[in-house]
């Protein structure tokens, strides 16, 4: 029996990523390199990432733009092939499957994109957009049955069946994202990749979309890989969090542990960007400096040029994720050594 027909492993996590890497060749043309004596240049967008997502759970990847989180999303969706590592969906390494072998699994994986307008075909009516996965995967063949199912999906995301006759440009940004969610649900997936699904929306609309996604998750038992740079959004959605910096995870653990007791200085700085509505008076240090050149990253810990706790060991030795209290893991020499974090002190 071939790999594509293996029965799913429902006892473990729905998605397990291990040793995942994706490198992009950004070298100049071969002739230029030969004449100028330059080596090949590789952009290590993802450089050894590990995480698991359980049934009905949300794992959030957070970090600044350019950290590699969207590349992870594209790898999980099969839009990129990994340079190394495994992407196991229900126990099967889908990264090694051909397009034909991947077909039985693809309908159970869906994706919600960042821009709700660019991801919708402007020449198609909404009914056709939402019904396309149903036709593509052969879930229904009768036109009336597809139309009924499309109407159900639109109602499920808070729209009217009559909206199926309209075009995407006739809707607001929040309504277009509801259409994208309905399309993602059309193939009856178990796992949905959400790549910055609310970043292009107004704050008031963001809350509506997040509440909708949480409600659908509870009713349908969905699992999410949630990509975001906004920790305030992640706090509302995530069960577990992975904090990415320059292609690697610098901290990972349960959401409660990450928010209540962050251990990596980068995580603490990201948390300080969240507005302090309660006005606690705590001194805050937002993320300073710029992300280093990913083609030529710093030696040792990649964060050390921006880190207030950096020491000589940080500058020469790259830290690995190590277990901490509360089920979290952090890759930080200074934090593991018990270095104090002064920003928690009240201002003078």
Helix (H) or strand (E) holding 75: helix 69-76
Res 277: pLDDT? 62
Question: Greater confidence, 324 or 88?
Answer: 88
Res 324: pLDDT? 83
Specify whether the CB–CB gap between 273 and 231 falls below 8 A.
Answer: yes
pLDDT digits (tens, 9 = 90+) for 131-141: 999 999 999 99
Res 7: pLDDT? 41
Degrees, nearest 5: CA angle 256-262-267: 115
**pLDDT above 90 as % of the chain:** 65
pLDDT class of 153 with cuts at 50, 70, 90: very high
Closest CA to 164 of 201, 197, 131: 131
Which range has the worst mean pLDDT, 174-188, 295-309, 331-345?
331-345
Cα dihedral 248, 254, 257, 262, rounded to 10, equals 10
State the average pLDDT for the chain.
88
Question: Greater confidence, 4 or 54?
Answer: 54
What is the greatest pairwise CA distance in the chain? 71
Rounded to an integer, the average pLDDT of 205-225 is 95
**Residue at token pair 């999980």:** 76
Res 348: pLDDT? 32
pLDDT digits (tens, 9 = 90+) for 94-134: 999 988 888 889 999 999 998 888 889 999 999 999 999 99
pLDDT at 145 over 90: yes
Q: In what order do the strands lie in the sheet with 223-228?
A: 109-112, 191-195, 223-228, 58-62, 240-245, 248-254, 329-330, 322-323
Res 283: pLDDT? 66
Give dist(CA 247, CA 8) in Å, integer. 30
Question: Greater confidence, 198 or 334?
Answer: 198
Cα dihedral 79, 80, 84, 90, rounded to 10, equals 0
Specify whether the CB–CB gap between 328 and 257 falls below 8 A.
Answer: yes
| Model pTM above 0.85 | yes
Question: Greater confidence, 166 or 274?
Answer: 166
Q: What is the DSSP letter of 337?
A: T
pLDDT class of 202 with cuts at 50, 70, 90: confident
Res 343: pLDDT? 46
Rounded to an integer, the average pLDDT of 280-297 is 74
Rounded to an integer, the average pLDDT of 216-240 is 93
pLDDT class of 347 with cuts at 50, 70, 90: very low
């Amino acid at each position: 029996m071939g790999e594509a027909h293996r029965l799913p492993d429902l006892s473990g996590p729905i998605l397990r990523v291990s040793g995942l890497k994706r490198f992009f060749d950004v070298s100049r043309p071969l002739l230029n390199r030969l004449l100028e004596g330059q080596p090949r240049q590789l952009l290590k967008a993802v450089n050894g990432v590990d995480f698991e997502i359980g049934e009905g759970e949300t794992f959030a990847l957070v970090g600044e733009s350019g950290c590699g989180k969207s590349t992870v999303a594209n790898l999980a969706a099969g839009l990129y092939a990994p340079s190394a590592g495994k992407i196991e969906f229900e126990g099967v390494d889908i990264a090694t499957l051909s397009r034909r072998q991947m077909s039985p699994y693809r309908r159970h994986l869906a994706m919600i994109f960042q821009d709700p307008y660019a991801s919708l075909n402007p020449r198609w009516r909404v009914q056709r957009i939402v019904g396309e996965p149903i036709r593509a995967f052969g879930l229904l063949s009768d036109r009336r049955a597809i139309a009924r199912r499309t109407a159900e999906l639109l109602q499920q995301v808070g729209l009217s069946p009559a909206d199926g006759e309209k075009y995407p440009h006739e809707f607001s940004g929040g309504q277009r994202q509801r259409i994208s969610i309905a399309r993602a649900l059309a193939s009856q997936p178990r796992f949905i990749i959400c790549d910055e699904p609310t970043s292009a929306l107004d704050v008031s609309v963001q809350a509506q979309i997040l509440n909708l996604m949480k409600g659908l998750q509870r009713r349908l038992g969905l699992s999410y890989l949630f990509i975001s740079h906004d920790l305030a959004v992640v706090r509302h959605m995530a069960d577990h969090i992975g904090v990415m910096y320059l292609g690697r995870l610098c901290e990972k653990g349960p959401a409660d542990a990450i928010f209540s007791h962050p251990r990596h200085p980068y995580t603490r700085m990201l948390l300080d960007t969240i507005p302090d509505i309660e006005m606690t008076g705590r001194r805050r240090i937002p993320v300073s400096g710029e992300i280093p050149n990913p083609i030529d990253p710093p030696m040792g810990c990649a964060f050390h040029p921006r880190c207030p706790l950096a020491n000589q060991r940080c500058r020469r030795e790259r830290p690995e994720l190590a277990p901490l209290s509360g089920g979290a893991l952090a890759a930080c020499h200074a934090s593991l050594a018990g270095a104090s974090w002064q920003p928690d002190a009240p201002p003078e």
